[in-house]
């Protein structure tokens, strides 16, 4: 028997959800390939790309493969890459001295990418964790119990100038030392590198989601630093107000872009910074976020394509202008179809 019941409604929100075309017309958060930044890992040598077991589909790339990957990304509409080196053990020491070598792997990688793909925006990590035997982001105090803030900042400023001279567009200090953005800005300006931008890791939390990344750059297992406890310099995951203090400092010290890391489980922090600043905001969908989506998809518990898209839309919706994500290539290909 037909149901004759009828609601007397003026507002029917479902009218704007009726067809794919109508839904697209009223979509208020739009994800585009140019919103994505691809983090890429680079290694020495001429061999094949090295798969990273804890990050399905992600590889350590030689410089030649890195250039090929950048060309492919650029064709898909991805405009920026963030480069991270993976060094052999013989190049590491307590002081991270390889970070200041003029023939450093990362500098050669930057030059190769900028020569081969001039339109690609290149960002580099300014921190010592890939270069130190202990795996911390800076040099240690005399007693070895903590990272020496001021001595580390002096090294990072030198490192940033070297990267700028190699041609990077953004230096990205991820170390979370006090005062490092200002010191880097002064060092860049003094070296005539006023046009080099700073993307500050403004709210980088002491997260449990970084494990696969540490595998990728070889800082995961560091003798004498069980668990790589970085809580004396990275933010407490329980604290939200603290991110506003870091934002004010980074803005005052000359940051051009501010970042929240991790992204997906800190959407409230992204939103808070969006409401507090007019600076562009980056958010880093970190290795653990990427790998957990892959792991659940492999078990058949989640749809990989749907979840990667939804996770990135959520980050954009929270207020991020740009997103560092290991899904960049796949997502850009999907968006371009």
Annotation marks residue 279 as catalytic: no
Q: Judging by beta carbons within 10 Å of its beta carbon (0-12, 13-18, 19+), is residue 108 exposed, middle or buried?
A: middle
Inter-axis angle of helices 149-166 and 180-190, nearest 10 = 40
- Please report, in tens digits, the pLDDT of each residue of the chain (337 residues total): 567 899 999 999 999 999 999 999 999 999 999 999 999 999 999 889 999 999 999 999 999 999 999 999 999 999 999 999 999 999 999 999 999 999 999 999 999 999 999 999 999 999 999 999 999 999 999 999 999 999 999 999 999 999 999 999 999 999 999 999 999 999 999 999 999 999 999 999 999 999 899 888 987 554 444 457 999 999 999 999 999 999 999 999 999 999 999 999 999 999 999 999 999 999 999 999 999 999 999 999 999 999 999 999 999 999 999 999 999 999 999 999 8
Structure tokens that stand for 30 in this block: 């739009």
Task: Give the Cα separation of 19 and 147 in Å (integer).
Answer: 56
The reported pLDDT for the residue numbered 147 is: 96
CB contact burial 77-107 (16+ within 10 A = b; e otherwise): ebbbbbbbbbbeeebbeebbebbeeeebbbb
- Sign of the torsion angle spanned by Cα atoms 179, 180, 181, 183: positive
Query: What is the model's pLDDT at position 158?
Result: 98
On whether the CB atoms of residues 71 and 117 are closer than 8 A, the answer is: yes
Contact 122, 114 (CB under 8 A): yes
Q: Are 63 and 109 in contact (CB under 8 A)?
A: yes
Write down the domain spans for the chain: 29-335
Closest by CA to 205, choosing from 267, 257, 152, is: 267
Residues in the chain: 337
The CA-CA-CA angle for residues 106, 137, 276, to 5°, reads 100
Pairing of strands 322-324, 281-284: parallel
The CA distances from residue 236 to 86, 103, 239, in Å, are: 27, 36, 5
75 labelled catalytic: no
The one catalytic residue among 86, 92, 204, 279: 204
Give residue 227's pLDDT.
54
Q: Where are the alpha helices (DSSP H) in the chain?
A: 20-25, 63-75, 105-116, 149-166, 180-190, 211-217, 241-253, 267-276, 287-298, 304-318, 328-335
CATH topology of domain 29-335: TIM Barrel (3.20.20)
Task: Give the pair of three-digit tokens for residue 198.
Answer: 């700073």
In this predicted structure, what is the pLDDT of residue 225?
43
* pLDDT the model gives residue 192: 98
The span from the CA of 314 to the CA of 159, in Å, is 34
């Amino acid at each position: 028997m037909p149901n004759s019941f009828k609601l007397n409604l003026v507002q029917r929100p479902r009218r704007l959800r009726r067809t794919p075309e109508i839904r697209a017309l009223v979509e208020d958060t739009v994800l585009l390939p140019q919103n994505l930044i691809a983090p890429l890992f680079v290694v020495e040598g001429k061999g094949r790309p090295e798969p990273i077991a804890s990050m399905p589909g992600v590889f350590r790339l030689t410089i030649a493969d890195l250039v090929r990957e950048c060309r492919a990304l650029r064709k898909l509409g991805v405009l920026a890459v963030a480069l991270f080196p993976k060094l052999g053990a013989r190049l590491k020491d307590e002081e991270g001295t390889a970070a200041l070598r003029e023939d450093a792997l990362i500098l050669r990688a930057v030059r190769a990418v900028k020569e081969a793909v001039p339109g690609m925006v290149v960002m580099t990590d300014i921190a010592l964790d890939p270069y130190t035997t202990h795996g911390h982001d800076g040099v240690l105090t005399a007693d070895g119990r903590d990272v020496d803030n001021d001595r580390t900042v002096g090294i990072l400023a030198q490192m940033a100038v070297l990267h700028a001279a190699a041609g990077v567009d953004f230096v990205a200090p991820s170390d979370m030392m006090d005062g490092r953005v200002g010191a880097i800005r002064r060092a860049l300006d003094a070296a005539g590198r006023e046009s080099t931008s700073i993307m500050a890791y403004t709210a980088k939390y002491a997260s449990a989601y970084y494990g696969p990344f540490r595998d990728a750059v070889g800082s995961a297992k560091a003798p004498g630093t069980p668990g790589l406890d970085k809580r004396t310099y990275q933010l407490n995951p329980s604290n939200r107000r603290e991110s506003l203090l870091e934002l004010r400092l980074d803005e005052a010290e000359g940051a051009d872009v501010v970042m929240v890391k991790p992204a997906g489980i800190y959407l409230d922090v992204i939103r808070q910074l969006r409401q507090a600043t007019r600076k562009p905001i980056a958010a880093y969908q970190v290795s653990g976020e990427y790998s957990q989506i892959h792991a659940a998809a492999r078990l058949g518990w989640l749809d990989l394509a749907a979840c990667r898209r939804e996770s990135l839309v959520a980050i954009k919706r929270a207020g991020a202008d740009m997103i560092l994500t290991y899904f960049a290539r796949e997502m850009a290909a999907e968006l371009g179809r």
